[in-house]
Amino acid sequence: MAPNLPASVNGGTIATESQVEPLPETTTLPPTRSVPAIAHPTPEDAFGVAANIKYHAQYTPHFSPFKFDPEQAFYSTAESVRDTLIQRWNDTYAHFHKIDPKQTYYISMEYLQGRALTNAIGNLNLTDAYAGALSKLGHGLEIIMEQERDAALGNGGLGRLASCFLDSLATLNLPAWGYGLRYKYGLFAQRITKKGQEEYAEDWLEKFSPWEIVRHDVVYPIRFFGKVQAESDGSRKWVGGEVMQALAYDVPIPGYMTKNTISLRIWEAKAPPQDFDLYSFNSGEHEKAAILQSKANQICAVLYPGDATEDGKLLRLKQQYLLCSASLQDIIARFKERRPKHAIKWTDFPNKVAVQMNDTHPTLAIPELMRILMDEEGLGWDEAWAITGSTVAYTNHTVLPEALEKWSQVVMAKLLPRHMEIIAEIDKQFCQMVKSSRPDLVSKLEQMRVLDSNPHKPLVRMAHLCVVSSHTVNGVAELHSDILKRELFSDFCSLWPNKFQNKTNGVTPRRWLCFCSPELSAIITKWLQTDKWVTNLDLLAGLRQFADDEQLHKEWEAAKFANKVRLAEYLLKVTGVKVDPTSLFDTQVKRIHEYKRQFLNILGVIYRYKKMKEMGPEERKGVVPRVVMFGGKAFATYAQAKRIVKLVTDVGSVVNNDPDIGNLLKVVFVPNYNVTAAELIIPASELSQHISTAGMEASGTSNMKFALNGCLIIGTLDGANVEIREEIGNQNFFLFGVQADDVPRCREERMAGHFTPDPRFEEAKQMIRSKTFGDFDYEPLLDSLEGNSGYGRGDYFLVGVDFPSYIEAQKEIDIAYKDRRRWNHSSILSTAGSGKFSSDRTISQYATDIWNIQECRVP
C-alpha cells in the first residue's frame, strides 16, 4: 500500500496515486507509483528529490523509455542536482553583476575535478535527502555514485590544486571564476598489462557529462597564423590566417553550506559553420570540405599532446592561446557588461579584475591582454602595459628545467605574429629598464631576458615573461618560494624584492576528509563536539588533548580499518590481487617521474623481499606484513618513467605469487590513478611515501591529504613536507635523505666519482640484473644510477646517496607499527596538525595578499 501523500510541496500540486499513469508490464522501474514525476528544481526533502529525479528520467531522457537501471538513474540524479546548481549559479551571477565586486579569474591548463555527485550533494547538505530519494526509487546512493566517470580535464597535482581552489573560492563566498579547456580524451586512460603501461583515450565524454551547461551565446573568435598589418593611424592589426571559435561550457561549483555557486568555464574549439566547403564536399573532396573543423577538433582532443615535432609544438601553443584568448575576451566582455558603454574607464580594469596564471601554461594571457587593449580598444602601449601589469599574477609550480616552458621564437612568430611583436617589445623595454636602473645586473641580462638570443635556437622564456609582466609571483611552499628567490629567480628578486611571495598550497577538507572518510569524520566531530572543523580546519588541533585516550584509539583504528577493507575490495576488483587489510598499507601515488623517485621505493621493496627470502619460517613471523601500493601515470613519451612502471609490475608479479612470502608482502600497481581512486586509497593508507629529491618538489598536495587522514609520512625535507613535519611534530614523521642545501655538493661528488655505494643498494640492483623479475631490459634504468642518465649526469636524483637512510627509516617504521599505541597516537596527531593545509587558508591569503578581493555572499 502506498503511503499517504502530502497535498503539495512548496506550493506545487502533486499527483495522487490514482492520477499516475500505470507503467507497462515490461518496465524495469521499481514499483514506486507513489512517486510522481514532477519538475522541482530546488527540492529539500527526499520526496521532492525523488519526484524531480523521476521527472528527469521520463522527460529529459537519454536512454530508451521505461528503464531505470543504475546508469540511467545516475544521469537522472545528476540532472536533478544540476537543477539546484543552475538556480544557485544564476543567483550568484546576478548578485555579482549587481554588486560588481573585484573578481578573480583563475586560468589553468588543468582541473582534476573527480566525481561531482558526492561533492555537490555534500556541499548542498542534501546527501541524506538524495539517499532517501534513491531508496524510494529502488537504488542505493553508493551504487549510483559508482556510475559516474571522472572528468578528464587534468592529470596531477596542478589540476587537483586548481579544483580545490575553486571549492574554497565558492565556500568562502569570494567572487571568482575558473577557466580551462574541455579535453575530449583527457591525457590518457592507463592500463597495466604484462608490457607495463599502455595508453588509451579517456572515454569520459563517450555519452555526455550531465554537469556541464553549453552556452551557445558565449562564443569568441580565435585567430591563428596570418600577418600583422600597419594601419594608417600607426596602430597594428592582426589579420588573415585561420579563424576558429571558442564555445563556452559551464560546470557549476557549489560552495559548502552557502548559496554561492561559481563556475568552471571550459572552452571547446569549433570551426564556424560557414567554413564548411559544401562545393568541395559535393565534389567528393570530403576531407577538404571540413579541414578547418578537423583542425579545431585537434586543439581540445587531448591534454598535453606530444610536442616532439613542429606540428606538435604548434598544437600545444594553439591550446594555450585558445585558453588565454577566449578567457580574456570573456573577462573583458563581463567588465564591459557591468558598466555603461560611455562610462568605461580602462584604468579601472585592475580594480575589478584579477587574473591568476596557474603555472606558465597561461602565459599568453599577458600579450593577449596587451593586444586586445591596444589593437581592439585603442589604448597606447604605456597605458596597456600599466593595466596588464596591475592585473596579472603568476604562480610558479616547479623548478624543473623541462617544465619551465620555452617556446621557439620561430614557431611563436608563425602561429601568433602579433604576440611575438608584443613579447619582443616587452623584452626590449625590460632590457632598457635594467640598463638604466641596475647597471650591476647588465652582465646577467642575457640570462634574465624574456627572449633567449641564441642565434641557433632562439626561444621565448615563458617563466621570465611571467615574472617581468606580473605584479606578484608566488611559490607554493616555504622551501620552494625560498628556492625561487635564492636560485631560480634570484636576479629578478634583487630587482623587485617585493614582487615575490609564498602561498603554501592546501586541500579542501570537504572532499579529502569529510566526504571520503565519513567514519573518521564522524569520530572527529564527536570528540571535538562540533562539525565546524569542515570549514575551519584549525579546530582539528583540539584532537591533541585526546591523543592518548584509549577509547579514541579504539574508534580511530576501527575507522581506518573500515577504509582499508573498502580499499582491499577495490584492489581485488581492479588488479586481481587479494590483500590482507590487517597489513600495513604503504602508498606512493603521484605522477611517475624520476625526481619523485618511485625507483627508490621499488628498490627498497626489492631489498626487503631479498632479506625476507633469506629468512627462515620462524624468523619471518616477526615481519610486519605490508601492502606496497603504487599509482600514477608516466607520460606516454617518457621512456624512463615507463620502465619504472614496468619494474613495479614485474616485481609485483613475482612477490605476490611467492608462497614463501604469502601475505607478508604484496606489491600492487593501481591502474589509471585518478581522484576517485584517491578517495579510496588516501583514507585507507597508513604510510605514504613523499620521497622526492630534496629541493625538486615545489609543494605536493597529496602529502597534505594523507596527513589529514591520519596517515604517517616517510619523506625528505622537500616541498610542503618541511611544513607538515613542523605542524604534526618531528616524532610523527619518518625523515631520511640529504637536505636541499646539500644536493649540489652530493651531485658534484657523485659526478667526480667520490661515492661509495652502500652494499644494500648494490644488492637490490643486482637482483634486477639477475633476471629474478623477468627478462625485460632494465639496463637503461639501472644506467641512470651509474652515470648515463637522460640528464647527462649520473644518479642526478641521488637514489644511491639516499638509499641507506631510506632503508633505516623503513626499519623504524616497522618498529613503530608494531607498537599500536605509538602508531595511533602519531596518526591522531597527524590529523590534529593538518589545520594549516586547508585550501580555505591558502585562498584567503591569495584574496588578501595578491588579488585584493572581498567576500560577496549571495543573500
Amino acid of residue 409: Q
Amino acid of residue 300: C
Whether residue 137 is contained in a domain is answered as yes
User: CA nearest 766: which of 756, 754, 750, 778?
Assistant: 778
Q: What does residue 245 show for φ and ψ, rounded to 5 degrees? A: -130, 145
Q: What does residue 139 show for φ and ψ, rounded to 5 degrees? A: -130, 155
Report the pLDDT value the prediction gives residue 402, as an integer from 0 to 100: 74
How far is Cα 413 from Cα 416, in angstroms, rounded to an integer?
5
Q: What does residue 3 show for φ and ψ, rounded to 5 degrees? A: -70, 160
Whether residue 834 is contained in a domain is answered as no
Percent of the chain predicted with pLDDT > 70:
95
Q: Give, as one character, the DSSP assignment of residue 838.
A: B
CATH classification at residue 443: 3.40.50.2000
577/446 same-domain check:
no
Report the pLDDT value the prediction gives residue 33, as an integer from 0 to 100: 58
Whether residue 183 is contained in a domain is answered as no
How far is Cα 139 from Cα 119, in angstroms, rounded to an integer?
19
How far is Cα 820 from Cα 607, in angstroms, rounded to an integer?
25
Query: pLDDT, tens digit, for every residue of 581-602?
Result: 999 999 999 999 999 999 999 9
454/569 same-domain check:
no
CB-count burial class (<10 Å; 0-12, 13-18, 19+) for 274: exposed
The domain in which residue 689 lies consists of 563-816
Max CA distance (Å), the chain: 92
Of 460, 486, 503, which residue sits at a domain end? 503
Q: Give, as one character, the DSSP assignment of residue 794.
A: T
How far is Cα 572 from Cα 567, in angstroms, rounded to an integer?
9
576/688 same-domain check:
yes
616/762 same-domain check:
yes
Q: Which three cell numbers stand for residue 173?
A: 563566498
Note every long-range contact of 426-430, with CB atoms under 8 Å and residues 24 or more positions apart, other chains counting: 426/366, 426/367, 426/370, 426/450, 426/465, 426/468, 426/469, 427/451, 429/385, 430/468
- For residue 242, list its beta bridge partners: 224
Ranges in the chain, pLDDT < 70 = 1-33, 787-793
Residues 6+ apart with CB under 8 A from 87: 41, 42
Tell me how far the alpha carbon of residue 196 is from its chain's centroid: 24
Helix axis angle for 799-818 and 598-614, nearest 10°, is 60
Report the pLDDT value the prediction gives residue 634, as an integer from 0 to 100: 97
Note every long-range contact of 788-796, with CB atoms under 8 Å and residues 24 or more positions apart, other chains counting: 789/594, 790/594, 790/640, 793/747, 793/750, 793/751, 794/750, 794/751, 795/750, 795/755, 796/594, 796/747
Alpha-carbon torsion angle 790, 461, 164, 560, nearest 10: 20
460/604 same-domain check:
no
Phi-psi region of 226 (alpha: psi -120 to 50; beta: other; left: phi over 0): left
Where do we find the cell 585603442?
378
User: CA nearest 712: which of 691, 692, 732?
Assistant: 732
495/594 same-domain check:
no
Whether residue 204 is contained in a domain is answered as no
- In three-state secondary structure terms, 428 is helix
Where do we find the cell 536512454?
63
Residues 6+ apart with CB under 8 A from 323: 107, 109, 179, 180, 181, 267, 361, 362
CA distances from 743 to 693, 746, 799 (A): 8, 5, 12
Where do we find the cell 564555445?
247
Report the pLDDT value the prediction gives residue 64, as an integer from 0 to 100: 85
How far is Cα 837 from Cα 713, in angstroms, rounded to an integer?
15
Whether residue 826 is contained in a domain is answered as no
Tell me how far the alpha carbon of residue 494 is from its chain's centroid: 32
Q: Which three cell numbers stand for residue 501?
A: 611571495
User: CA nearest 310: which of 240, 419, 455, 412?
Assistant: 412
574/683 same-domain check:
yes
663/595 same-domain check:
yes
User: CA nearest 465: which of 327, 367, 324?
Assistant: 367
Amino acid of residue 844: S
How far is Cα 793 from Cα 804, in angstroms, rounded to an integer?
21
Residues 6+ apart with CB under 8 A from 382: none
pTM summary value? 0.94
Query: pLDDT, tens digit, for every residue of 229-268?
Result: 999 888 999 999 999 999 999 999 999 999 999 999 999 9
A 10 A CB-CB count for 145 gives 18
700/780 same-domain check:
yes
Amino acid of residue 136: K
12/134 same-domain check:
yes
Q: Which residues are catalytic?
A: 397, 590-591, 596, 701, 705
Q: Which three cell numbers stand for residue 760?
A: 644494500
Of 464, 487, 503, which residue sits at a domain end? 503
Q: Which three cell numbers stand for residue 253?
A: 561549483
Instruction: Determine contact, residues 789/795, Cβ cutoff 8 Å.
Output: yes
User: CA nearest 363: which of 423, 276, 280?
Assistant: 423
CB-count burial class (<10 Å; 0-12, 13-18, 19+) for 529: exposed
499/578 same-domain check:
no
Amino acid of residue 214: V
How far is Cα 119 from Cα 251, in angstroms, rounded to an integer?
13
Q: Tell how strand 213-224 and strand 242-254 pair up.
A: antiparallel
Q: What does residue 744 show for φ and ψ, rounded to 5 degrees? A: -60, -40
Q: How many domains in the chain?
A: 3
CA distances from 673 to 378, 518, 592, 655, 682 (A): 49, 22, 11, 22, 12
Whether residue 243 is contained in a domain is answered as no
577/428 same-domain check:
no
